[in-house]
Chains A and B, each alone.
Chain A
């Protein structure tokens, strides 16, 4: 998978996660009952539990802000080592937070919220992709205009850009 395709995949996943978090934030503030296919509507109970707040801030809102930050790092920062590190750090933070919330659902509340699980799955996939993207490097320099292929090893030992016409000398 090219770096461009990987980045686009991550943008799409982050956008989906952002929509989920936005909906759960709306649920929190509006007091509406989220639809849930599990008997007893555990989603609603998880959303209303004491663990739906962290120091008084709804965890759904924290998730929404996290997804916005991740999307910002993917869309706004130019693709480079630092941007990839920042994206990975944000995603791993979100992944860790998702792990904590899933632990609370499974072992403290003994209830599972489908909406939260969906977000946790997205965050897990994003964590794998972001670590892979960061560790493998690649495609950091401009793609070859003629072939469309990335310069091999460009990320490993990037050379300063050669002046125009240098290739002919």
Chain B
């Protein structure tokens, strides 16, 4: 081995070492840069998550806990307005049990509802004020109210509230109770329906004898009626409220799906069709 060759080998080794060291340094720098980038990303993720949590908690607090029991303050401005509105709508229209309208009206609309159902409230407050003066008051249509449990969580509470309405029907004031209940319906699932609430509704029904109403509530006739309604709804294939059947009085009523619970148009069209047939 010549000394020159040994120098070359030594130079190469030094060069290789230098390159190796440079490579390692570069790798370390890259690894450090990658770690710094990961840290930065994690920090950004943490900031985003923190902002989202703060905003969502804010929304949850602002929108309330979902409680808020509602009780009727008889004699309050709200109560007086409801009584006046209901009276204007149905006063003077014949009532029998859970039926509103002339018993001999040519067309019957069967309305399956749950007194706690907010969509039933919409239908009652937005569609019925058109249908009742136009068809019920004029003797062309009668509306039967039937019970189907949907929005009410507790079956016992459902039975109690529906029976309370039917018991008012014993004095031919059931629709006053139903209308008043929907007008003053509380926040869904807040557990607002209790004895005080039902008494409050009943006390706003003009002319209702509260003692007779209380006695009637314990009659099995009405709880049986609620059970029969559930069976009828099941047979008709109804799963939601409000649900309807429509047809000629005394004939077979057909399932009626209006497609809307806020517009009276489809109801009017269907009733007109029945009246003309």
Contacts and interface: CB of A to CB of B under 8 A. Distances in A.
Interface in A77-125: 85, 88-89, 92-93, 95-97, 99-100, 103-104, 107-110
26 contacts: A31-B260, A33-B261, A39-B239, A40-B151, A41-B239, A45-B117, A45-B118, A45-B119, A45-B150, A45-B151, A45-B188, A89-B48, A92-B48, A92-B52, A100-B59, A104-B63, A104-B66, A107-B66, A110-B189, A135-B42, A153-B30, A156-B30, A156-B34, A156-B37, A157-B29, A157-B33
B55 interface: yes
A31 B188 contact: no
B56 interface: yes
B245 interface: no
Contacts of B187: 50
A33 B259 contact: yes
Interface of B: 29-30, 33-34, 37-38, 41-42, 44-45, 48-49, 51-53, 55-56, 59-60, 63, 65-66, 117-119, 122, 149-151, 153, 187-189, 239-241, 259-263
Contact of B66 (A48, A108, A131): A108
A44 B119 contact: yes
A108 B60 CA distance: 11
B44 A32 contact: no
Nearest to A41: B240
A34 to B, nearest CB: 10
A96 B55 contact: yes
A93 B52 contact: yes
A134 interface: yes
Contact of B118 (A49, A96, A103, A137): A49
A32 B29 CA distance: 62
A129 to B, nearest CB: 14
B252 to A, nearest CB: 24
**Would you call the interface of chain A mostly helix, strand, loop, or mixed?**
helix
A131 B153 contact: no
Interface of A: 30-33, 36, 39-41, 44-45, 48-51, 54, 85, 88-89, 92-93, 95-97, 99-100, 103-104, 107-110, 131, 134-135, 137, 153, 155-157
Query: Which of A41, A54, A104: most chain B Cβ within 10 A?
Result: A41
Contact of A50 (B29, B53, B188, B240): B188
A45 B261 CA distance: 12
B53 A30 contact: no
B188 A54 contact: no
Contacts of A45: 117-119, 150-151, 188
A80 B48 CA distance: 17
A140 to B, nearest CB: 11
A44 B45 contact: no
Nearest to A134: B41
A50 B119 CA distance: 12
B63 A54 contact: yes
Which 9 residue pairs of A and B lie closest in terms of their CB atoms, listed nearest first? A41-B240, A108-B66, A156-B34, A96-B52, A40-B150, A96-B56, A157-B30, A31-B262, A157-B33
Contacts of A104: 63, 66
Contacts of A89: 48, 51
Nearest to B35: A156
A54 B55 CA distance: 13
B26 to A, nearest CB: 9
A90 B63 CA distance: 22
Nearest to B44: A85
A32 B262 CA distance: 9
Query: Which of A96, A100, A135, A153: most chain B Cβ within 10 A?
Result: A96
